[in-house]
Copies of this chain bind each other. A is one copy, B any other.
Amino acid sequence: MDFNIIRCGRAVLHVTDLERSKAFYEALGFVITESDSDCVYLRGLEEHNHHSLLLKEKDEPVVEAISYKVYSDEDLDQLAGHFESEGTTVKWLEKGSQHALGRAFRIQDPQGLPVEFYAEMDSVERLLQRYNLYKGAKVQRIDHFNCAVKDVQQSYDYYINELGFACSEYTIDDKENIWAAWLHRKPSVHDVAFMNSVGPRLHHIGFWLKDPMSLIDGCDVLASMGYAKNIERGPGRHGLSNAFFLYLRDPDGHRIELYNGDYLTSDPDFKPIKWDLNDPLRQTFWGHEAPDSWFDEASIVLDVHTGEPVETGEPKLKKTKPQFMI
């Protein structure tokens, strides 16, 4: 099946102090497309769509939705039809109900993640060559979502077989169970990754940088502005995905990854790369340990229908820190 999902598109996060969050993301190098007293719309320097990160000021710092862009409104209708035909309740958000976005719908995916699809978002000026506006880590574009789920095998099957994603890399435990999987629609390593953990939760949102030095520059700028404590892990390189990475916690604890070092995954004969859970090069190619917080903490997600937090549960496969996710 193929519903012309193009790529991961945006995330909608709730934050508890909008000004504080706005200052953080601006320091990090995001472009502020628009902001008012309730919301901030952020995008990367090469993005021609209105935003890839929407922050709403609310009481609890949770995840309202992670969103994928589809090719056309027709594809959107077909995809909604597919969900309904398999018994998944579709919640439509008509055009005009969300600022700068066309009509969209949301579902709770089989593992409980709040997922949104849309085909249309307002165009804005792309700032790729406005180098004098670059700052911080010079965030270029949204790259992927990383999700903690209880049953990775189920997410893997669903996203590949039902939604047409392809797998670039995956991790197995010593019984050959799928522990984690990196799935893509655009020909990069991933649009979404799923890891075996307490779920459903959003572990992080990855943003792509133009080069490794932008990541180093980002560290220096953040530290000089008092954000050193927001740097949780890295810089380092993952064996899995070959990413040169940095993990940050925003003022509410939402985790952002800065990411560079991907490769092209366009080919049908590209064989997904298999990693053993205990391969020491998998998690961190250079051999560093991640802090406990990185393994234990992730953002709670909302139910798209009730607006209430989705209860989390223990993962299907036994958790083995520190190798359990990337």
Contacts and interface: CB of A to CB of B under 8 A. Distances in A.
Interface of A: 6-7, 27, 46, 48-49, 69, 71-72, 120-121, 123, 128-135, 140-141, 186-187, 210-213, 216-217, 219-225, 228-229, 231, 235, 237, 239, 242, 244, 260-261, 263-264, 266-271, 280-281, 284-288
Contact of A27 (B132, B216, B237, B260): B132
A128 B263 contact: yes
A27 B260 CA distance: 25
B264 A132 contact: no
B269 A228 contact: no
B210 A213 contact: no
Contact of A280 (B6, B135, B228, B285): B228
A223 B286 contact: yes
Nearest to A233: B288
A48 B264 CA distance: 10
Residue picked from A120, A212, A217, A223, most chain B C-beta under 10 Å = A223
- Top 3 nearest A-B pairs (CB, nearest first) are A228-B287, A131-B220, A131-B224
Contacts of A225: 132
Nearest to A227: B287
